[in-house]
């Protein structure tokens, strides 16, 4: 009997030790998991803080705080906010992609629909200029400008948050499967001025947009049509360059037919190309007072269109080749 009792005691003791050990291991594992998760969160927070500092977040905060208008219009988003808005940048939220990066559709906590631009890279030397442009562009409210709400600086490359515009960019339309005669500029007019490459340089000095600012932006559209490149494009060396500045410098040293896209040379005469290039150069002049009015731009283009139409009627056999322009 004593032996049986001892066995039961040993069994109970073994069970108790086993349960205690199991509970201890479970508790230790749980604590380890919690600590590891907390450690990872701390690492992520530190990494985001490092990115924020590297991307001149303190400079942007200073610019916002020093301007009463900017404090109401420029928002610095957290990465967590944009991850929630895009369902962790889910592939189903991608609006477009290209050599510069991707654009995602996002829904903010207030249900506002936005487009979030996630670029592939940015030169560290351009960060300060980038931040200054964000502070300026986010304050602009104009019917022809895509609203820039703000940015997120907690990633290696800053994210830009724009108002959502459903029609896509001119570059995307030009390089889609559609022929050049199958789109209207009105489809992209509200998508033009909101990005850095389209903004009138005078705005940085005056803080005002006017009709001549629209003329400058239209000049950038003309350059896109002529060169088939984006307003901020990547050169062969991998650096970013402003398309308008590139065009203005190249036409001083090279024949226009060497600058424009090959497709343009096939579809238009040299006289037409020179006429449009000359009009484009006038639209892109740095001083707004030296640019033509939009009415003058329209009249010039209408005149070119009339000449082309008369030429097509005079040469019916070439009508099919000339139609795309």
Tens of pLDDT, residue by residue over 34-51, are 888 888 888 888 999 999
On whether residue 69 sits in a domain, the answer given is yes
What DSSP state is assigned to residue 121?
A: -
- Tell me the mean pLDDT in the region 238-262: 91
- Residue-by-residue DSSP string for 245-310: HHHHHHTTTS-HHHHS-HHHHHHS-HHHHHHHHHHHHHHT-SSGGGSPPHHHHHHHHHHHHHHHHH
Q: Residue 222: which domain range?
A: 170-309
> How many other CB atoms are found less than 10 A from the CB of residue 176?
11
Annotated binding site for ATP: 117
On whether residue 135 sits in a domain, the answer given is yes
On whether residue 17 sits in a domain, the answer given is no
Each residue's pLDDT tens digit, 166-179: 765 545 544 444 33
Asked if 113 and 176 sit in the same domain, the reply is: no
* Total domain count, the chain: 2
Each residue's pLDDT tens digit, 264-286: 898 889 999 999 999 999 999 99
pLDDT at res. 325: 38
On whether residue 43 sits in a domain, the answer given is no
Asked if 150 and 68 sit in the same domain, the reply is: yes
Asked if 144 and 255 sit in the same domain, the reply is: no
Q: Which residue has the higher pLDDT, 55 or 71?
A: 55
For the record, the structure tokens of 65 come out as 């705080």
Annotated binding site: 117
Q: Indicate whether this model's pTM tops 0.85.
A: no
Q: How many CA atoms lie within 13 A of 88 on its CB side?
A: 0
On whether residue 137 sits in a domain, the answer given is yes
CB 174 within 8 A of CB 180: yes
Mean pLDDT of the chain: 79
On whether residue 151 sits in a domain, the answer given is yes
pLDDT at res. 193: 38
pLDDT at res. 3: 60
CATH number reported for the structural domain that contains residue 236 in this entry: 1.10.510.10
Confidence of residue 10 (pLDDT cuts 50, 70, 90): low
Give every CB contact of residue 246 below 8 A, 6+ residues apart in sequence: 233
On whether residue 182 sits in a domain, the answer given is yes
CATH number reported for the structural domain that contains residue 69 in this entry: 3.30.200.20
Q: Which of 163, 188, 209 is the last residue of a domain?
A: 163
Each residue's pLDDT tens digit, 68-114: 666 567 889 999 999 999 999 999 998 877 656 788 999 999 999 99
Q: Which of 132, 163, 194 is the last residue of a domain?
A: 163
pLDDT at res. 176: 46
pLDDT at res. 291: 96
Asked if 120 and 247 sit in the same domain, the reply is: no
Q: How far is the CA of 15 from the CAs of 2, 11, 25, 160, 277, in angstroms? A: 20, 6, 15, 60, 90
On whether residue 217 sits in a domain, the answer given is yes
Q: How far is the CA of 118 from the CAs of 87, 198, 292, 295, 301, in angstroms? A: 15, 19, 36, 37, 36
Asked if 221 and 265 sit in the same domain, the reply is: yes
* Edge-to-edge strand list for the sheet holding 113-119: 75-77, 148-152, 159-163, 113-119, 101-107, 94-98
Asked if 73 and 158 sit in the same domain, the reply is: yes
What DSSP state is assigned to residue 91?
A: G
Q: Is the pLDDT of residue 296 over 90?
A: yes
Alpha helices by DSSP H, listed for 55-102, are: 57-65, 68-73, 79-85
pLDDT at res. 70: 60
């Amino acid at each position: 009997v004593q032996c049986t009792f001892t066995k039961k005691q040993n069994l109970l003791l073994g069970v108790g030790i086993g349960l205690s050990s199991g509970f201890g291991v479970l508790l230790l594992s749980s604590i380890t998991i919690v600590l590891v998760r907390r450690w990872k969160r701390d690492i992520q927070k530190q990494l985001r803080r490092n990115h924020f500092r590297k991307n001149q977040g303190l400079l942007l905060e200073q610019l916002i705080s020093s301007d009463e208008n900017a404090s109401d219009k420029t928002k610095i988003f957290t990465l967590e906010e944009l991850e929630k808005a895009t369902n962790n940048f889910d592939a189903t939220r991608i609006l477009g992609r290209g050599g510069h990066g991707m654009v995602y559709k996002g829904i903010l906590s207030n249900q506002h629909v936005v487009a979030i631009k996630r670029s592939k890279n940015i030169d560290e030397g351009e960060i300060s200029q980038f931040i200054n442009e964000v502070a300026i562009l986010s304050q602009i409210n104009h019917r022809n400008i895509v609203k820039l709400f703000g940015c997120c600086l907690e990633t290696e490359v800053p994210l830009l948050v724009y108002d959502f515009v459903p029609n896509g960019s001119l570059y995307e339309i030009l390089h889609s499967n559609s022929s050049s005669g199958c789109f209207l500029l009105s489809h992209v007019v509200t998508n033009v001025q909101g990005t850095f490459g389209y903004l009138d340089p005078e705005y940085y000095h005056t803080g005002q947009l006017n009709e001549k600012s629209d003329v400058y932006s239209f000049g950038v559209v003309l350059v896109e049509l002529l060169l088939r490149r984006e307003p901020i494009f990547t050169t062969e060396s991998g650096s970013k360059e402003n398309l308008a500045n590139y065009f203005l410098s190249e036409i001083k040293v090279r024949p226009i037919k060497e600058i424009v896209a090959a497709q343009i040379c096939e579809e238009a005469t040299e006289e037409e190309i020179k006429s449009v290039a000359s009009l484009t150069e006038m639209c892109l002049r740095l001083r707004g007072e030296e640019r033509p009015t939009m009415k003058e731009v329209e009249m010039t283009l209408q005149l070119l269109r009339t000449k082309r139409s008369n030429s097509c009627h005079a040469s019916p056999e070439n009508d099919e080749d000339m139609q795309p322009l």
